[in-house]
Amino acid sequence: MQKTALLLALIPVLWFDPVQAQTPTPAKSGPPKILIMEATAFTRAPQPTAAGTGVHDGTVAADTAILPLGTRIRITGTASYDGYYLVTDTGAAVKGMHIDIYVPSQAEAKQFGTKRVRVAVLQIGKGPADARRKDATNPPAGRGGSQ
């Protein structure tokens, strides 16, 4: 009887679905945590991000006290910039409830302006190494994208 109970307890642990492993999971059980944040946009910088990755669609800068490097998020409320993003950067002006979304041109960044957006925290990051691993293995789709 005890062997059967132990076996039944181990089956979910041993079962591994690689497709599900690449899908963002909520930060906690239940629905993702939703934050209302101020969003601005930035263009490509010559240096790598704070996590050591290159800047590309799907890159977001955030205050690591709010959204640690490696955090997967979904942004809504920006119209054409809604989508899945990965926090791989920080910035001197990115403090508190503020995110900075990468866009490809200075004109686009200026046109973006400042917006209030909803940020769903899908998976909390664990720092620069986590951000680099996630960016290399499953980069976010970025604006309008899905994962």
Domain positions in the chain? 24-143
Res 56 pLDDT > 80? yes
Give the CA angle between residues 18, 56, 40 to the nearest 5°.
Answer: 115
Q: Which helix (H) or strand (E) holds 12?
A: helix 2-14
Share of the chain above pLDDT 70, in %: 73
pLDDT tens figures, 90-105: 988 899 999 999 999 9
Q: Which helix (H) or strand (E) holds 146?
A: none
pLDDT of 99:
98
8 A C-beta contact, residue 34 and residue 116 = no
CATH of domain 24-143: 2.40.40.10
pLDDT of 76:
96
Q: Which tokens in the block code for residue 100?
A: 């900075």
Q: Are strands 59-62 and 142-143 parallel, antiparallel or unpaired?
A: unpaired
Could you count the other beta carbons within 10 Å of the beta carbon of residue 110? 11
pLDDT of 143:
62
pTM of the model: 0.76
Res 26 pLDDT > 70? no
pLDDT of 10:
42
Alpha-carbon gap, residue 96 to 114, rounded angstroms: 15
Q: Which tokens in the block code for residue 49?
A: 């991000």
The label of the residue with tokens 């930060």 reads 27
Res 24 pLDDT > 70? no
